[in-house]
Structure 1
Amino acid sequence: MTKVHVVLRKEDIDEMALADGKVAVVFDILLATSSITAALSAGARSVIPVRDAEEAKEIAFRLPVGGYELVGEREGRTIAGFHPPAPLFLQTVCPGKTVVLSTTNGTVAIRRAQPARAVYAASLLNSPAVSEHICRWHREETIIAICSGSSGRFCLEDFYGAGYFVHCLIEQGIHAAELSDSATAAWLFYRQYSDERKAKEVLSASRVGRWMAAYGLEREVDYINRHGALSSVPKLELGPFGPELRDMAPTKVTKEGTSP
């Protein structure tokens, strides 16, 4: 039985297969899952991933005034009345708040993954923490790493992120023989660009990375590229307003040993 598999786009998610006891780990490196990781690490109460702006507004209407932040983009453009889903910026507005997050790809992928036994959000920032948690609590289960992609297209940065996560699983004791071909391909790709300098080349060369550079968001990319800097473990749980991501990490520390 395949232990670890990588899905290349959210459109390729097999919901019936996920419902058969699988563990899903979703990647949207630029930007959704990196933003989720950063927000929870900075002290957000939870992140509610929604499919679109209309659902976000419906949920916000039921939340306490002053207790939430609307965050979102559609096809790369910040939604009117929402904050942009940028990790560095979010850390300044989300402590103590519920973040209602709507993105074109990442939050949609998380919601599509709901039939799985457990759903996590991972990024370059927190893959070591997520892999350690999964190997502790889901050691005998099949793990499906899901690359969100971009509006039906393959994304280089998500594939790299999934490869880093596979590498972290192997460091936790998962054997290479338990990888599917897609998981092996992602892992081998990561190994070619495993240090942060080379990883920056991958992120910057990607279509979304080029777009972020054109809009002066290089600092966000540099932050996202901090491999293993955060210990947040975002897991999808049923909350009072629907599915929400909560931090399962026992502590919130950075690589340097301080909270962000």
Structure 2
Amino acid sequence: MANIHVVFRKEEIEETELAKGKVAVVFDVLLATSTITALLSFGATAVIPVRNEAEAHEQVWSLPHGSYELVGEYEGRTIAGFHSPAPLSLQSISQGKTIVLSTTNGTVAIRKAMTASHLYIGSLLNARALARYICHHHPTETIVIICSGSSGRFCLEDFYGAGYLVAELLQNGMAQEQLSDAALAAYLFYEQYATEDGGKKVLSSARVGRWMMAYGLAADLDYINTHGVLTVIPMLQPTERGGEIRDVADQLLKKNSGREIG
């Protein structure tokens, strides 16, 4: 029987434990994992997560000219020469491109979790489809839901996203008895705000959400808060460059994949 755990910050990731056949799901709701999910729904071929700006430039050396776009931030500031990772600004540049993405927390968490047997990307946008996929493909494996946090700090929005995924896993046949205390706490918190209005209250009250509101990103916040609208299943696949994230959704799930903004 599968067990479901929640890790509160990327600093708590136990790489050796993940390597013991665990399935990992990384959440960085504001912004990295929401942006990755959106990018794939916008038609990006793949997303390469990197730890920092220098690693991003190393990655593009092996990519054909014109085949990629650099997207990233560090400590909330867009990296010079990169696109901002705010998802709505990326729709027009994503189609058919490989996106090299560098963020302060989310992509670092993804790189730390690469020892897992399977590594998925979670967000409010795709948690419903992701839960169905996990319950079908990993019914007996231990699921570790990782909240990226922010520079070592707990993030309310990631905890909310983790709780939403737990709720959807329960809806798809997993049992509450399979939850660790941390997973149960995330689920109970989500249940208190289990609507888009509730989600908006959580996201806009969180530290990063307040920052986004102050910098004119309210529309991005509203988009990120749309629960279960995408059927994208982003999964990290090993490559010679370390790994890239692609949509592995079943064709049935992909029938209505993506959501045009405008």
Q: Same fold (TM over 0.5)?
A: yes
Secondary structure, counterpart of 1:62 in structure 2: coil
Deviation at 1:89, TM superposition (A): 1.2
Partner of 2:134: 134
Is residue 75 of structure 2 the alignment partner of residue 81 of structure 1? no
In the TM superposition, 1:1-260 aligns within 5 A as 3-251=3-251, 252=254, 259-260=259-260
Secondary structure, counterpart of 1:158 in structure 2: helix
Amino acid at match of 1:181: D
For 2:17 and 2:201, the matched residues in 1 are separated by 35
What is the aligned length? 258
CA contact (8 A) 2:13 2:112 kept: yes
Deviation at 1:62, TM superposition (A): 1.5
Deviation at 1:247, TM superposition (A): 0.2
Deviation at 1:250, TM superposition (A): 2.7
Structure 2 unmatched ranges of 5 or more: none
Secondary structure, counterpart of 1:164 in structure 2: helix
CA contact (8 A) 2:2 2:141 kept: no
For 2:222 and 2:175, the matched residues in 1 are separated by 31
CA contact (8 A) 1:33 1:122 kept: yes
Secondary structure, counterpart of 2:226 in structure 1: coil
Amino acid at match of 1:59: Q
Alignment deviations for residues 90-139 of structure 1 (CA, whole Å, 9 cap, x no partner): 12111100000000000000010011111000000000111111111111
CA contact (8 A) 2:23 2:143 kept: yes
Structure 1 unmatched ranges of 5 or more: none
Secondary structure, counterpart of 2:61 in structure 1: helix
CA contact (8 A) 1:253 1:259 kept: no
Alignment deviations for residues 156-215 of structure 1 (CA, whole Å, 9 cap, x no partner): 000000000000100111000000000000000000000101110000000000000000
Deviation at 1:87, TM superposition (A): 1.1
Secondary structure, counterpart of 2:183 in structure 1: helix
Q: Percent identity?
A: 60
CA contact (8 A) 2:2 2:140 kept: no
For 1:91 and 1:37, the matched residues in 2 are separated by 12
CA contact (8 A) 1:148 1:158 kept: yes
Go from structure 1 to structure 2 and tell me whether the alpha carbon gap of 1:27 and 1:258 turns closer, same or farther (over 3 Å shift): closer
Amino acid at match of 2:78: T
For 1:10 and 1:140, the matched residues in 2 are separated by 24
- 4+ runs deviating over 4 angstroms: none
TM-score if structure 1 supplies the norm length?
Answer: 0.97
Secondary structure, counterpart of 2:34 in structure 1: helix
RMSD: 1.3
Amino acid at match of 2:85: P
Amino acid at match of 1:201: K
CA contact (8 A) 2:25 2:143 kept: yes
Deviation at 1:242, TM superposition (A): 2.5
Deviation at 1:253, TM superposition (A): 5.4
Secondary structure, counterpart of 1:242 in structure 2: coil
| Higher mean displacement: 8-17 or 233-242 | 233-242
Alignment deviations for residues 7-26 of structure 1 (CA, whole Å, 9 cap, x no partner): 00000001111111100000
Deviation at 1:61, TM superposition (A): 1.8
